[in-house]
Amino acid sequence: MMLLARASMGMIWWAFGFSLLYALHGLGCANGWISVSLAGGSLFRWILVGIWLVLGFGGAIVIRRAWIMPVGFERSLAVACGIAGFFGTALTGTPLMVSSTC
Amino acid sequence: MNALRHHRALTEIWGTPRGWRGTMISVNHSDIGKRFILAAFAFFAIGGVLAMLIRAQLATPDSAFVGPAIYNQLFTMHGSIMMFLFAIPMFEGLALYLLPKMLGSRDMAFPRLSAYGWWCYLFGGTILIAALVLGVAPDGGWFMYTPLSSKIYTPGINADVWLLGITFVEISAMAAAIEICVSILKLRAPGMRLDRMPPFAWYLLITAMMMIVAFPPLILGSILLELERAFDWPFFDPAHGGSPLLWQHLFWLFGHPEVYIIFLPAAGVVSTVLPVMARTQILGYGAIVAALIALAFLSFGLWVHHMFTTGIPHMALGFFSAASALVAVPTALQIFAWIGTLWNGRPELKLPMLYLLGFFLVFVLGGLTGVMLAMVPFDGQAHDSYFVVAHLHYVLVGGFIFPMMAGAYYWLPHFSGRSRVPRLGEAAFWMILVGFNLTFFLMHLTGLLGMPRRIYTYTDDMGWTWLNLLSSVGSFVMAFGFALFALDVGLQIALSRRSRRNPWGAGTLEWAMPIPAPAYNFASQPEVADRDPLSGDPLLALKLARGEGYLAQARHGWRETMAVDSSSGAIDHVVILPGNSRLPIVTAAVTGCFFLSVLMGYYWMALLPVMAVIGLGWRWAWALGSRADVGPMAIGKGQTALVHREAAGGPAWWGSIFLLVADSVLLASLLFGYAFLWVVAPNWPPPQTIDGGLGVAIMTALSGSAAVFLARRSEASGRQGSLGMAGQTAIGAACAHGASAIGLLVIGITALPPPSNHAYAAVAWVLLAYGILHALVALLCAAFVRARIGGGYISARRFREFEITRLFGDYSGMVILIILLCLFMPSIAL
Amino acid sequence: MIVGGCGGPLSTLDTAGPASSDVATLWWVMLSGAAMLTLLVLTLLLLAFSPRNRPFKNGGRLWICWLGVAMPSAVLTALLGYALILGEGSIAEPVPGRVTVEATGHQWYWTFRQPGSNSVIATRGVLHIPVGQPVDVRVGSADVIHSFWVPRLGGKMDAIPGQINILRIQADRSGVFEGQCAEFCGLNHATNRFRVVAHDERDWARFQQEGGR
Ligand code: HEM
Ligand SMILES: [Cu+2]
Ligand SMILES: [Cu+2]
């Protein structure tokens, strides 16, 4: 069990980030946070983008931690999930750059 | 020892008595698995007949075959039967039958739970079919959108039949999920490390974990909708602060993972059968496991793609669109890993392989249209049109039926001990393949030409006439194909000649036994050193039959099987499984009485079966355990191990953990609903929020914490052997749990507006009810400990009851704190 | 844009407005991509059965890293970017002075309200719009969930009780376009139809004067 949890850290991180972005987006739109504008976008969008970058950084750390595990099945899984989670965070965040916020 | 005598002794212990009595009391995984498979096939036939009626109606424009009232029941029941009564139970059955055999074990971890799940499934399915026969079947579509399914627009019991019948069946899905997880993690042959498990076990482990997280939102949604229908608690009514979208979120939070839950076990069949057909090993075992993990997570981030047209902001849609596209990657990885496997080996076109080729063709097309639908602008056009009907059948039939049929032909010799009838299977395959594509390929075009799904008729000038006619013709060709398949299977079981052992030359353990399989699977359990134990040692079956493995003795009438460390596969302890029992069928029948009373609207009378279930649950747990210590016992090969009662981390502990995970997902879904309504629904903030009650709340929290503390004290005394002290403290803990239940009730009565007042009040009441329920469960657990001490079941070696009680007590204490915070924080903050 | 059998009163491929033709283009692009991928998979599959000695034996890296992960990731990222940008273009952002109509789904008919020159114009079963300019449809429901869908003009938008969703449609030529309720709404969902009439400038002026009478 613990092995599985450690090995899926990358995807857990993705799930956390995804939920965070979705929840914040919902909250922000409901409370009119987009009305503050900044540097060609809304402050709200920049905050979301900032969080996205932090999440990506966290994802990189997860990969790094997986990388230094002792060689074996667990490490292979952890590295693969780390990369998947990192790529997932990158891709699922792209709408932050493209789409209208609310 | 003489192998035959040994066989008789083990059959005496593990077997099922003949006749009706045996049918009712059997808890053997092979029996239950076969029943699931048979019943699921019967439901498939019923669902198929409904599909034929649908196609007959749509074959021509302005058809007068059935009217809209019947047609709506037809497609609703077709979809619901196929998803809930066919697909899920079918793979559950296969898993129940195969998993212990593949893992080198003798049964699942909770045999009585499998039987209970089976009866719940049978009774729940019967309720649904009875409603169909009586003409009061659900008619709101398989996703039952509110407000169409609310009381005003569906005044009859049709929607209640769906909500209650499906929830009843879901009990069996949850039971199977928990059981599959624990069995795979704990009950394997010694030496089977995680990375030596057969791929099928990985697929089912991931599937079962997904079920544990995916089903609670649906169960919660069904409870809420039933509460709204029965008592006017306005969760989904926008006039009172509810939101129809809440239902959609809860449903699809379950509904999307559901399709992967259906696909993954079938993919597990592919990963098992395909390498054998190509006489090689699977390519990229580790990559596939990683892909499964990724898939499991990603599939929970897709649900909004069913809601692209509900007016959600584009950015949020974008998140889900991206995740939906992304989920295609792990699937593609598997497809190419399989093709690579074929390249590595020497594939032969035997019948299972033929079905696998059909799977590739159909499933890949379905996957590609899935990616298309994940693109928001395209979905705007294709959503709710026949394009979606085509897509979903390409993935479900391609991703489930074709692999399962490959599996059927692959494992049939295992079930029947016979080899197959020549050529019939090939004929069936071609009819199904051609019929299927004729039916559904054209539907892509029908959809793009604007035909919406769920319409009972259309006019000629729409330009859909010839497409529909051809689809209907194709569907009948396919139906004959399935009939031929059924005939083929029947002939094989009844008439065909006997098959030799391991007819395909496979390497997995389910073939290391005589076929058809004996009740106990293995006369002795193997020691596993690689992924294909049978390829490494062709004589393994013989050696095991001769008793050269673990647990070769038949002693004391115990159903013994080995439990291992979940990752290393090292020997952990011996589990003694419970034997045949009437409890499962009786408990399921009483559970059924509960659902029937609610269905009929006798709400007070429903309390009676609830009490009865509590009593039966008590007996269920009581029947386990022993009044005497066993100590280390011989397991063969000169080794010893403890019995599960005397070892930590046994099946009951793991089962409780998974149950509590499911339970907390239910709570999390409820809190999501609370937050969702607060943020998104119209008519908030509510006219009245919680008013007072803070004092009671603090006392409730304190008594909840006191219960947690007392339970620990009780356990500590119990472990030191001062049982009298332990018993008294347990009673103290029970009282404290009782006090917190009463506290929660008092808060509701004194401080909350009535639940029908506003969605806020309704959710708050459900939160309280959840807390009260858990406090009562914890109370019962603590009382159970006291009774067990009195009964002499507890000693310094045997104190598992304390551990389980602690789990439930801690959970209850924690939940009460969370609930109180959620109720009082907002009103303090505002 | 009528290719062979792609016509029909509700056809998404027989387009008459920018939103629907964008989607149709997206569809044709995706269809050709999907066809190529299907061909690729089937060819690789059939080659596995050829008796020749095959290359790429044990080619885990080729099958898994390149074909299994890199190729689909690249294709999907490109497609996703295209679709997101396309979708962004058809969002109904508020513009002052745009023609705005209210569409309400009922069991089982549609009603529409829009400002006329003299008074509010209410119609049942027919929605009038001007040709060549975007129209914002404010979609709502009077009872259960419905969905406003005029396939030749653009994608659908659900009519959900308790909320208003905005859909932008535009007709590039005058004429009558069929609409259909696309979300199952009970007994007569199948026949829950409506029409959109797109008027040229003269007709539109007259409609606004006379309210369609
Ligand atoms: C045996 C061949 C089958 C045929 C001919 C068939 C035909 C159809 C048709 C025509 C519809 C659309 C009805 C409508 O929208 O008016 C439909 C809906 C559906 N089918 Fe099937 N089907 C078959 C097998 C299956 C299987 C095996 C599954 C699942 C495992 C399945 C799951 C569904 C679901 C979930 C729906 C949606 C129901 C709804 O809209 O509420 N079908 N089927
Ligand atoms: Cu989905
Ligand atoms: Cu409708």
Give the model confidence (pLDDT) of B466-516 as tens digits.
Answer: 999 999 999 999 999 999 999 999 999 888 888 888 999 999 999 999 988
pLDDT value at residue C58 = 66
**C118 and C181 assigned to the same domain:** yes
Q: Which residues have C-beta within 8 Å of that of residue C48, sequence separation ≥ 6?
A: B278, B339, B342, B343, B347, C54
**C76 and C27 assigned to the same domain:** yes
Per-residue CA distances from B253 to B85, B214, B215, B216, B300 (Å): 20, 7, 9, 9, 7
Which of the four pLDDT bands, split at 50, 70 and 90, describes residue B827?
confident
Q: Please give the CATH superfamily to which domain B242-506 belongs.
A: Cytochrome c oxidase-like, subunit I domain (1.20.210.10)
Cα gap B526→B541, rounded to integer Å:
9
Q: Give the other-Cβ count within 10 Å of B493's Cβ.
A: 13
Domain-embedded: residue C132 = yes
Average pLDDT value for residue range B355-380? 97
| Residue type, position A74, single letter | E
pLDDT value at residue C93 = 72
Subunits in contact with chain B (3 or more CB pairs closer than 8 Å): A, C
Pocket test for ligand 1, best of B77, B80, B82, B392 (most atoms within 8 A of CB): B82
Residues of chain B contacting residue C149, judged by C-beta atoms under 8 Å apart: 452
Contact C167, C143 (CB under 8 A): no
Domain that holds residue C35: 11-88
Q: Is the CB of B141 under 6 A from ligand 1?
A: yes
Give the model confidence (pLDDT) of A47-91 as tens digits.
Answer: 999 999 999 999 999 999 999 999 999 999 999 999 999 999 999
CA distance B21 to chain A (A): 39
Which of the four pLDDT bands, split at 50, 70 and 90, describes residue C2?
very low
Long-range contacts of B560-563 (CB under 8 A, 24+ apart): B560/B106, B561/B100, B561/B105, B561/B106, B561/B107, B561/B187, B561/B525, B562/B105, B562/B187, B562/B188, B562/B189, B562/B190, B562/B525, B562/B635, B562/B641, B563/B186, B563/B187, B563/B644, B563/B647, B563/B650, B563/B651
**C193 and C106 assigned to the same domain:** yes
Contact B428, B522 (CB under 8 A): no
Token output for C84 = 């997101």
Cα gap B451→A44, rounded to integer Å:
41
**C78 and C106 assigned to the same domain:** no
Using the Cα atoms of residue B809, residue B814, residue B818 and residue B823 in order, give the sign of their dihedral: positive
pLDDT value at residue C1 = 38
Q: Is the CB of B48 under 6 A from ligand 1?
A: yes
Q: Say whether B500 sits in a helix, a strand or coil.
A: coil
Q: Is C85 on the interface with A (CB under 8 A)?
A: yes
Residues of chain B contacting residue C162, judged by C-beta atoms under 8 Å apart: 238-239, 243-244, 681-683
Cα gap B301→A92, rounded to integer Å:
10
Q: Is B679 on the interface with A (CB under 8 A)?
A: yes
Of C88, C119, C153, the domain-final residue: C88
Q: What are phi and psi of B65, to 5 degrees?
A: -70, -55
Domain-embedded: residue C5 = no
pTM, full prediction:
0.97
pLDDT value at residue A100 = 83
**C149 and C204 assigned to the same domain:** yes
Q: What is the ipTM for the molecules in this complex?
A: 0.97
Per-residue pLDDT for B826 more than 90?
no
Per-residue CA distances from B338 to A96, B77, B102, B269, B408 (Å): 36, 35, 21, 12, 19
Contact between C190 and B455 using a beta-carbon 8 Å cutoff: yes
Domain-embedded: residue C2 = no
Contact A10, A84 (CB under 8 A): yes
User: Percent of chain B having pLDDT more than 70?
Assistant: 100
* Atom 32 of ligand 1: nearest residue by CA position: B79
Ligand nearest the Cα of residue B481 is 1
Contact B219, B226 (CB under 8 A): no
CA distance B107 to chain A (A): 21
Q: How many domains does chain C have?
A: 2
The secondary element (H helix, E strand) that includes residue C140 is strand C135-141
**C78 and C107 assigned to the same domain:** no
Domain-embedded: residue C183 = yes
Residue extents of the structural domains in chain B: 1-189+537-647, 242-506, 674-829
Ligand nearest the Cα of residue C108 is 3
pLDDT value at residue B1 = 54
Range scoring the smallest mean pLDDT among B24-33, B205-214, B717-726: B717-726
Q: Which of B353, B355, B357, B371 to mutate to test the interface with C (most CBs of C within 10 A)?
A: B371
Q: Is the CB of B391 under 6 A from ligand 1?
A: no
| Residue type, position B354, single letter | L
Which of the four pLDDT bands, split at 50, 70 and 90, describes residue C54?
low
Residue length, chain A?
102
**C40 and C113 assigned to the same domain:** no
Q: Is the CB of B751 under 6 A from ligand 1?
A: no
Q: Is the CB of B474 under 6 A from ligand 1?
A: no
Per-residue CA distances from B639 to A72, B550, B574 (Å): 28, 9, 12
Contact C23, B380 (CB under 8 A): yes
**C141 and C196 assigned to the same domain:** yes
Which of the four pLDDT bands, split at 50, 70 and 90, describes residue B133?
very high
CATH topology of domain B674-829: Four Helix Bundle (Hemerythrin (Met), subunit A) (1.20.120)
Give the model confidence (pLDDT) of B558-584 as tens digits.
Answer: 999 999 999 999 999 999 999 999 999
Strand residues in C9-98 grouped as ranges (E): none
Ligand nearest the Cα of residue C107 is 3
C180 alpha carbon – ligand 1 mean position (Å): 22
Q: At what angle do helices B694-720 and B723-751 cross, to 10 degrees?
A: 170
Q: Say whether B730 sits in a helix, a strand or coil.
A: helix
Give the model confidence (pLDDT) of B645-663 as tens digits.
Answer: 999 899 999 999 999 999 9
Which of the four pLDDT bands, split at 50, 70 and 90, describes residue A33?
confident
Q: Is B603 exposed, middle or buried (0-12, 13-18, 19+ CB in 10 A)?
A: exposed
Give the model confidence (pLDDT) of C129-165 as tens digits.
Answer: 999 999 999 999 999 999 999 999 999 999 999 999 9
Ligand nearest the Cα of residue C190 is 3
**C82 and C120 assigned to the same domain:** no
| Residue type, position C33, single letter | G
Average pLDDT value for residue range B64-86? 96
* Atom 18 of ligand 1: nearest residue by CA position: B79
Q: Is the CB of B446 under 6 A from ligand 1?
A: no
Average pLDDT value for residue range B442-467? 96
Contact between A91 and C81 using a beta-carbon 8 Å cutoff: no
pLDDT value at residue C3 = 47
Cα gap B95→B108, rounded to integer Å:
10
**DSSP code per residue over B587-649:** HHHHHHHHHHHHHHT-TTTTHHHHHHHHHHHHHHHHTS--SS---SEEEETTEEE-BGGGSSS
pLDDT value at residue C52 = 67
pLDDT value at residue B830 = 60
CA distance C161 to chain A (A): 18
Count Cβ neighbours within 10 Å for each residue of B425-452 and write b for 16 or more, e otherwise.
beebbebbbebbbbbbbbbbbbbbbbbb
Q: Is B23 on the interface with C (CB under 8 A)?
A: no
Of A3, A76, A92, the CB nearest to B323: A92
Token output for B714 = 């009780």
Which of the four pLDDT bands, split at 50, 70 and 90, describes residue C55?
low
C166: β partners: C138
Per-residue CA distances from B730 to B715, B719, B727, B808 (Å): 8, 13, 5, 13
Contact C103, C142 (CB under 8 A): no
Which of the four pLDDT bands, split at 50, 70 and 90, describes residue B721?
confident
Cα gap B352→A32, rounded to integer Å:
58
Per-residue pLDDT for B429 more than 90?
yes
Per-residue pLDDT for B154 more than 90?
yes
Contact between C88 and A100 using a beta-carbon 8 Å cutoff: yes
Average pLDDT value for residue range B528-557? 92
Contact B761, B235 (CB under 8 A): no
CA distance A84 to chain B (A): 7
Of C68, C88, C108, the domain-final residue: C88
Q: Is C132 exposed, middle or buried (0-12, 13-18, 19+ CB in 10 A)?
A: middle
Q: Which of A79, A99, A101, A102 to mutate to test the interface with C (most CBs of C within 10 A)?
A: A99
Per-residue CA distances from B83 to B43, B47, B132, B441 (Å): 10, 10, 16, 21
Cα gap B608→B597, rounded to integer Å:
10
Token output for B145 = 């959108």
Which of B216, B217, B224 has its CA nearest to residue B243?
B224
Cα nearest neighbour of C87 on chain A: A99
Q: Is B368 on the interface with C (CB under 8 A)?
A: yes
- Asked if B242-506 and B674-829 have one fold, the answer is no
CA distance C71 to chain A (A): 14
**C109 and C150 assigned to the same domain:** yes
**C201 and C109 assigned to the same domain:** yes
Q: Say whether B549 sits in a helix, a strand or coil.
A: coil
Cα gap B775→C134, rounded to integer Å:
59
Of C35, C56, C88, the domain-final residue: C88
Q: Which of C46, C63, C69, C71 to mutate to test the interface with B (most CBs of B within 10 A)?
A: C63
Which of B627, B565, B560, B566 has its CA nearest to residue B797?
B627
**C160 and C130 assigned to the same domain:** yes
Q: Say whether B525 sits in a helix, a strand or coil.
A: strand
Per-residue pLDDT for C56 more than 70?
no
pLDDT value at residue B796 = 85
